[in-house]
Structure 1
Amino acid sequence: MPVTYIPPEQRKGILESPILQMAMQQRMQQQERQFRERELKLKEQEMPVKNLIQMGNLAKSLSDLGLDPRVILGTKA
């Protein structure tokens, strides 16, 4: 696509054009959507780690009470 020189006095009108405004708005929406998707993926990756930490804390609490956490949590055959 050829590049066309636009004199500075005509550039202001280009930024106000409805087509460019719509294109910029769509780009912003796309960036927001991508940001939300990345944020959701990161949260999904955090959940198993948090669950393991909670399980570890629960197992330690049960051990502190003198109980075998493997029996209580169903992980001992």
Structure 2
Amino acid sequence: MGLFSDLDKKLTENVYAHGSELTDASADLSQKVKDTVELLMPLIRPEAREAVRSEILGIIHEHLYDDNLS
């Protein structure tokens, strides 16, 4: 049972360390892109900012031009 316990612990640590890369659309975007999106936030109602930020970063992530693909 110790083997499974150790494996579970390592997997849990890995998910905590890298999980946002799987669920966060902006995880692989540069800080410059994130900062630029933040400049738009004063134009957005405070209660909608998180949703708008997430949508914008998701769209950028989905349509990001990648030099490695061409």
Same fold (TM over 0.5): no
**TM-score, normalising length: structure 1:** 0.33
- Bigger Cα Rg: 1
